[in-house]
Amino acid sequence: MPIDTSKIRAVVFDYGNTLVEFGHEKVRLYDRAVAEILGKLFGPPDLELLSHIRDRDRMAPYSGNPPQYRENCLPDITRALIYEMYGRYPTPQELEHVLRVRYEAFLNLIKANGNTTTFLAQLEQRYKLGLVSNYPDGNAIRASLQQVKLAKYFQSVVVSGDIGFCKPHPLPFERVCGQLGVEPAETVFVGDNWLADIQGAKRAGMRAVHLVQWQPHETFEQDPRHHQPDAVAKDLEELQAMLMAGSEALQNE
């Protein structure tokens, strides 16, 4: 369904499972790379324990009552993971080695469809574009955007690992609006995660489009008190039709 874009000046995207796929299979491959380097450095890993720790770390920012949405510190959680699995802390060199493998595994797994480049190139003709990603390593996100040739389309890139807070905390949304020079009410946020993206954007005063092309690894129960998205898009092609149709209608007025 179309959305009213008459007052929209900016479109802000989530990254994983919105512009690029990073679902269950990608997460499995990422964790396998972590298991392999742990095995080389410290001995055969307990894969069940590793899976438990990884899932716990992913959900940690959303824990607490109320949750604080504090982003993980990647070196700290990696150090703690090794201690919990092997009973000792890594040396600085070992820790750096594991972190490097995590960084490279992420870059190797992220791929962008050529249609995504075309979509963003067309969209930037009419809107300011931004990106907000929940990920503990901002350098990995920026390197990935460069590698898949999407970086040039974004006037603002905000990563939770750089600012210390994850969506749905208001800070990432405030930061991207400030960097783009727009008000939340002038912004459409597009994401896959019901809590982080849809609830976060709506609480921040933005329009929100729920993109359901890929299944996110982290899932959250919908609550009757939750905000509903302004639109649901099955893929980027349908999203493009929504955003460009609204703009064309405006231009023809």
Q: What is the rounded distance in angstroms from the CA atom of residue 144 to the CA atom of residue 141? A: 5
Query: For position 6, what pLDDT does the model report?
Result: 84
Residues 6+ apart with CB under 8 A from 82: 38, 42, 88, 89, 90, 94, 95, 98
Q: In the chain, where are the structural domains located?
A: 10-22+112-251, 24-109
Across 164-168, average pLDDT: 98
Residue 252 in this model has a pLDDT that exceeds 60? no
Q: What is the rounded distance in angstroms from the CA atom of residue 149 to the CA atom of residue 61? A: 30
Least confident of 11-15, 20-24, 80-84: 20-24
Query: For position 253, what pLDDT does the model report?
Result: 31
Residue 52 in this model has a pLDDT that exceeds 50? yes
Query: For position 250, what pLDDT does the model report?
Result: 33
**Residues 212 and 232: beta-carbon distance below 8 Å:** yes
Query: For position 4, what pLDDT does the model report?
Result: 79
**Residues 101 and 34: beta-carbon distance below 8 Å:** yes
Q: What percent of the chain has pLDDT over 70?
A: 96
At 192, is the pLDDT very low, low, confident or very high (cuts 50, 70, 90)?
very high
At 8, is the pLDDT very low, low, confident or very high (cuts 50, 70, 90)?
very high
The CATH number of 10-22+112-251, from 3.40.309.10, 3.30.260.10, 2.40.50.140, 3.40.50.1000, is 3.40.50.1000
Residue 251 in this model has a pLDDT that exceeds 70? no
Residue 249 in this model has a pLDDT that exceeds 50? no
Query: For position 2, what pLDDT does the model report?
Result: 62
CA separation (Å) from 17 to 87, 210, 234? 35, 11, 12
Residue 197 in this model has a pLDDT that exceeds 80? yes
At 187, is the pLDDT very low, low, confident or very high (cuts 50, 70, 90)?
very high
Across 196-208, average pLDDT: 97
**Residues 131 and 151: beta-carbon distance below 8 Å:** no
Reported pTM: 0.93
pLDDT, one tens digit per residue, over 114-153 is 899 999 999 999 999 999 999 999 999 999 999 999 999 9
Query: For position 244, what pLDDT does the model report?
Result: 84
